[in-house]
Structure 1
Amino acid sequence: MPRKRSVDDGDELLARLGSLTAQARERAEVQRSQVELAIALQRGMLPRDLPSGPGFRVAVRYAPACYGLNVGGDWYDAFTLPDGRIGLSIGDVQGHNIEAAVFMGQVRTGLRALATVAGDPGELLARTNDLLLSLGTDLFATCTFVRLDPATGVLESARAGHIPMVWATADGKSGIADDEGGPPLGIESGLEYPVARYQLTTGGVFVLLTDGIVEGPDMNVDDGLGQVVRLAGIAAVAGLDAHALAAAAIKGAERVGHEDDAAVLVVGHDEPDRWAKARAGS
């Protein structure tokens, strides 16, 4: 009789193990489906076409996270405003799941819509902040928005809790944009966002990025930003185009050891004849 009970106990244990294994596989499949859906949502919300014109270029690179559910929060955008100026934005939503991907789309859409009526990037971020609060979500986003006048090379920029831009000029100077910034979007109403103004000179570049480029377990944010400053400086002096710099920046993100999304947006100023030759050869 004791031997019979031992066999029964073993069968019961095997049955429980089989059930737990099946449940684990089911959860893994659900998680994988959620990751694939979040990536599809995110990619579908990013712009397919980027503005271009004589004297300036816009280039982007984006690498989604590939671990667990660490996907869904980063975005970039570039579009032409009705007055001919160019709107550029980059940002990061709190969270890494389908909800974050959807919220990212709401932020990007809100910025696009309000950019046509806002007086400057600071007012745009303030209006977008109030819009997001009206949605009643617990999520928030960091963001940089830049408005570029291609005719003059003047950039107007405002930041909402986001990493500052990096800049470089053809004469060998480079650094991190020194602007005040404001709190992230979606936290508190009635906020103001200071506006900083810069000049995009011939051969110069401005680099907008998310923290996946510069911060992770293997590198702190100061060292990461310093890495991008060096890349931008080399690219500007060597006359490399915006696409080459964007590719180098996203490649350099591998050194930070992150498991997060990574996005970079570069706007550069070329000689008009160089742009014409590039267009003719494309």
Structure 2
Amino acid sequence: MTKDDLRRRYEEASQWPLIGLAVLFVAAYAWGVLRPDLPGWLLTTLHVVTVIAWPVFLADYVFRLALAEHRWQFVRRNWIDGLAVVLPLLRPLRILSLVRVARVIDRRLTTSLHGRVAAYVTLTASLVVFMASLAELDAERGDPDATITTFGDALWWAFTTITTVGYGDRYPVTAEGRLVAGMLMVAGIALLGTVTAAVASWFVGRVADAARTEDMAARAEDDAADAAADEALRAELRTLTEEVRRLRAELAGEGRAGLSDRG
């Protein structure tokens, strides 16, 4: 058994525990941000959960890297995973942990290319908007000049930012908030590009399918025409054969009659 086979078996065995941890991370982070008035011990517990999740994801990445037969190729193909685990768990950078959440859940998505793209984009966009809203609210609400002071404000700001609309009625004023905004802008452009590429690929695929259908129909018509021509040729050959046989019979009869006359 090769290392890649072992890595695939490990990914299949670890996907559900990692999904559980990812969901727990999102829940703990969201609860802590949305309810800052919780008791101190509970806030500490939620913080510990978010901190513990990072080394687990790091260990998962390192173990899969160790099992890869072509490690540089693995790093290039999974650079987003690497970026998400090597950066420190600073408060404004916690949004990057959603990358690991999406990548883990992506293992359970459909194998169809377009279905995979649609599901992945939908899942990632939802996670990005939700986590960016939480991170922005966490960074902004303590500033006296903040325009984002509630989760509703943060959610509205995230929607307008990721869709590249940007009304400007809500905007970050802190350095941490602007860092989150920058990452959200990049994510919005990337998702828009992915959706555009997926739609274009779908249209190209439909056109190619239509072209293949027309080509198959044309080939079927050509085959039918060829078959009809062959059948007509065979019928003509049968007619000519019968005519030759008749002429031979007539010639043979005339030959016998001539011999009888001379006799």
Smaller-chain TM-score bracket: under 0.3
Q: Which has the higher strand share?
A: 1
Question: Based on CA coordinates, which of the two structures has the bigger radius of gyration?
Answer: 2
TM-score normalized by the length of structure 2: 0.25
TM-score normalized by the length of structure 1: 0.23
